[in-house]
Amino acid sequence: MASVSGVRPQDHQPPAQAATIAAVNGDNNDEGPSVELAFAGQQPPPWWRQVTARSVATSVVLGAVLSFMSMRIGLTAGVGPSFNIVASLLGFFAVKSWTRLLARCGVASQPFTRQENVVLQTCIISCATLSFYGGFTTYLLAMTETVAKSAGGAGTGKDVYTLHTGKIIAFLSLVSFASLFCTLPLRKLMILDYKLMYPTGSAIAGIVNSFHTPAGAATAKLQVLAMSKAMAGSFMWAFFQWFYTGGSGCGFQDFPMFGIKAYKQKFYFDFSASLVGVGMICPVLINFSMLFGSIITSFIMWPTLQSKKGQWYTDPSPTNFKGINGYKVPMGIAMVLGDCLFQLGAITIRAANHFHKNRQEQKLSGASMPDDRNSDEQTSLSYDDCRRSKIFLNEGMPDHVAIAGYILFAAISTIFVPCIFPQIGYYHVVFLYTVAPILAFCNSYASGLCDWSLASVYAKLAIFIVGAWVGEASGGAIAGLAACGVMLMIIGNAAELMHDFKTGYLTLTSPLSMFISQAIGTLLGCLINPLVFMSFQKLVGKEHLGEAGSVFSAPLATAYRGLAVLSVEGIKILPKHSTKFCVAFFFVAFCLDCLTAVAKAKKWKVKKIIPNAMALAIPFLIGPNIAIDMAMGSLLLVIWKKADKKNASTLAVVVASGLICGDGLWALPSAILSIFQIEPPICMKFLSSYQTEEMQEHFLPKLATSSQ
């Protein structure tokens, strides 16, 4: 699973996860009593034994590692891979290894249950997801002077905000903890009454259940071994590449695989193992849609627009909104909005129809059997459902406590959020916290149906509403981005919590322990992610984090900044014909989505090759080399599945995760080498034939003379 341009498309499942969903699809239709009968002799431990000190300690380490990986990929590629499966696997491996080590030393330890595994996974993911929902690659970074200048703004005054670690921790804590209480009273309605699937939560439950059965242990060992090999190989490859980067533009990262002319358009393969791994996780259609968009923009659109310099625009800056960037970013944003508008409408209609159908069925069943309804419902439940419903209903936080908790955090946020971001008023915060529960319910319901969270769509709407409300003179850009953060965290985390409750329901994990683990993970995320972000600022430099053209260009931050600027300044700042292009590409995205929907409904064969509109928008904001890397990951996965489909389905996700982790881990020794000023010994650079002749004519004779 991966995020594309801020939307988290969880319905595109990777192979291993798709297989698991197929195995657990439906609570009682396919699996019957088989799952819980395997655990019939094991009574679930009480909730206070499910949240253990060792699980919290493991969460701190793994949460920090995955937060670092997620933030690094978000800052470079603009996508946010979901590490749910990785967290389950690494948590299982870490605690199992610890208990076995203690056993060999003769020290008794508490058995590692599937409930503790779920609590551990929930805690890790709650921490890691804040790297995205917390805005470190999106709205928070978009407030900085560097991103403001990269997006074409002046980068001064009320339109920029200096990120203070303490204030960011306070902001994250207030909003993210409020999100935990937002839809908590609806857990019974969503999971038991309407029996929403929540595919991600169901998939994780299937994996955890399999880990803790005799048959699942062997598979877990195989996956851990594959991940370890991939991680080691990726780390060594990054280490090997370092030797050839002794200068500007040196190394494998600038390998002109498709020729020098293509290289000048940034169309090259840079041998990034982490991006190849991301490509293996992302759906094939997403990756090749990005590649298709890169080809169109790099070889058709940008050369055409560059030829119009002096006629349509005069600003020479490649980053100013009054120059060529005034075409690139707005057109990308227009495609994003077109896709978001269609998805929002389609999922809202689908959720409303599903909700209405369920209400009608409940009325009919209630009218026909008013006296025996409860008894008939109980007898119709399977063995699995009886055990699961009993624990799910008997253990949990009272609804009035959840409502009081949300109101309390909303009141505190109303006071302190305007202190953190002076550009936003208390009445704006009241408005956001009033609307957020309604939108969170809609998003959680839709996510339960099709596993697609539209939190970022609602967040982008908040940018436009609050940004225009505050106005340009009063710092509307920063106010809109702050409002975006409030909506994104509340709505996104609320949907994530429902997925966790579904996982807990299918594994007999106490809802109270799930909530506590979510709270612990959120607290860790509020502390760890700002520190990780600060480490990136130290390693890369504040002035380069989000800088256009740099390795850590943060394309999503640029897009969010563009939305904020447009919300307060309007279209008057854009160059000639830019708005026409925006309208055209908005309808291109909308029509592509319509065509995709019709193709799926009619079951046309072309549905598998229609480009994804959101993925097509990515090359408007970043270079095509990232799309090439990710497409290479998809190509490797396709070849692997052709050669060995069984192993590919079992190991593809963990191998991809190992590639991501290994490449990311190299950042630490690389930083240490940089601190001690140890430079790579070799510069490997590629020159055109003309440059080679010039070097032979002018440089080599001088070098020979100086050596004599």
- Look at residue 425 in the predicted model and tell me its pLDDT: 93
Q: How confident is the model at residue 426 (pLDDT cuts 50, 70, 90)?
A: very high
- Nearest CA among 515, 461, 453 for reference residue 486: 461
Backbone angles phi, psi at 79, to 5 degrees: -125, 155
Neighbouring-strand partners of residue 313: 309
> What H or E segment, with its residue span, contains residue 627?
helix 624-643
Cβ burial, residue 621 (10 Å; 0-12/13-18/19+) = buried
The pLDDT assigned to 155 comes to: 63
Q: Is 309 helix (H, G, I), strand (E, B) or coil?
A: strand
pLDDT of residue 373: 41
Q: Please name the residues in contact with 574: beta carbons below 8 A apart, sequence gap of 6 or more.
A: 321, 322, 326, 330
Confidence grade of residue 134 (pLDDT, cut at 50, 70, 90): very high
Q: With 70 as the cut, is the pLDDT of residue 697 above it?
A: no
Token pair for 453: 């969270």
Angstrom distance (rounded) from CA 120 to CA 99: 15
- Per-residue pLDDT band for 316 (boundaries 50, 70, 90) equals confident
The DSSP secondary-structure symbol of 611 reads P
Structure tokens at 456: 């970022």
| List of E strands, 119-272 | none
| Per-residue confidence band for 520, with pLDDT thresholds at 50, 70 and 90 | very high
Q: Report which listed range, 226-240, 261-275, 667-681, is most confident.
A: 226-240
**Geometric angle at alpha carbon 56, from 53 and 58, rounded to 5°:** 110
Q: According to the model, what pLDDT value does residue 244 have?
A: 86
β 452-453/8-9 pair status: antiparallel
* 118, 499 contact by CB (below 8 A): no
Task: Give the range among 282-286, 605-609, 669-673 with minimum mean pLDDT.
Answer: 669-673
Asked whether residue 434 carries a pLDDT value surpassing 90, the answer given is: yes
Angle at the Cα of 118 from the Cα atoms of 68 and 103, rounded to 5 degrees: 95
Q: Which of 38-52, 79-93, 309-323, 347-361 has the highest mean pLDDT?
A: 38-52
- Output Rg (C-alpha) for the chain, integer angstroms: 26
3-state secondary structure (DSSP) of residue 166: helix
Cα–Cα distance for residue pair 122/516, rounded to 1 Å? 10
Rounded Cα distance, 416 and 406, in Å: 15
Q: Which amino acid is at 277?
A: G
pLDDT at 9 over 60: no
Q: Is 531 in contact with 524 (CB distance < 8 Å)?
A: no
Q: Which of 70-79, 311-320, 539-548 has the lowest mean pLDDT?
A: 311-320
Q: How many whole angstroms separate alpha carbon 123 and alpha carbon 58?
A: 9
Is the per-residue pLDDT at 416 higher than 90? yes
From 104, 11, 632, select the one nearest 343 (Cα to Cα). Answer: 11
Instruction: Give the pLDDT of residue 14.
Output: 36
pLDDT of residue 3: 43
Residue 33: pLDDT above 60? no
Q: What is the pLDDT of residue 254?
A: 73
pLDDT of residue 383: 75
- Judged against a pLDDT cut of 50, whether residue 22 lies above it is answered with no
Q: Where are the domains of the chain?
A: 8-13+50-367+378-675
Angle between helices 273-281 and 624-643 (to 10 degrees): 60
Q: Are 659 and 274 in contact (CB under 8 A)?
A: yes
Query: Which of 211-220, 309-318, 579-588 has the weakest average pLDDT?
Result: 211-220
DSSP 8: E
The mean-pLDDT minimum among 199-203, 420-424, 564-568, 639-643 falls in: 199-203
Strands (E), 637-687: none
- Gap between the Cα atoms of 674 and 245, Å rounded: 12
3 state SS of 657: helix
For tokens 């080590």, the residue is 101
Quick check: 137 and 540 in contact, CB under 8 A?
no
What's the rounded mean pLDDT across residues 499-517? 91
pLDDT at res. 702: 56
**At residue 220, does pLDDT exceed 70?**
no
* pLDDT for position 27: 40
Most confidently modeled range among 6-15, 59-68, 315-324: 59-68
pLDDT of residue 286: 81
Instruction: Pick the closest to residue 652 from 65, 86, 34 (CA basis).
Output: 86
Which residue has better confidence, 423 or 218? 423
* Confidence check: pLDDT of 78 > 80: no
Percent of the chain with pLDDT over 70: 84
Ranked by mean pLDDT, the top range of 286-290, 308-312, 514-518, 670-674 is 514-518
User: How is residue 200 annotated by DSSP?
Assistant: H
Task: Name, in order, each residue with C-beta under 8 angstroms of 15's C-beta and a sequence gap of 6 or more.
Answer: 637, 641, 648, 649, 652, 653
Enumerate residues 6+ apart whose C-beta is below 8 A from 622.
77, 78, 553, 555
pLDDT value at position 466?
A: 92
Mean pLDDT of 251-257: 77
Q: Regarding predicted confidence, which is higher, 368 or 674?
A: 674
- Average pLDDT, whole number, for the chain? 80
Of 153, 16, 87, the closest CA to residue 521 belongs to 87
Please report, in angstroms and rounded to a whole number, the separation of the first and last CA atoms in the chain: 61
Instruction: Indicate the pLDDT class of residue 206, thresholds 50, 70 and 90.
Output: confident
What contacts 635, CB < 8 A, 6 or more positions away? none
Provide the pLDDT for residue 524.
96
CB atoms within 10 A of CB 193: 11
Between 277 and 490, the higher pLDDT residue:
490
294: which strand partners?
none
Distance of CA 207 to the CA centre of its chain: 21
What is the structure's pLDDT at 370?
A: 45
CA–CA distance, 376 with 112 (Å, rounded to integer): 37
Residue 526: its H or E element: helix 511-540
Average pLDDT over residues 65-86: 79
pLDDT at 691: 66
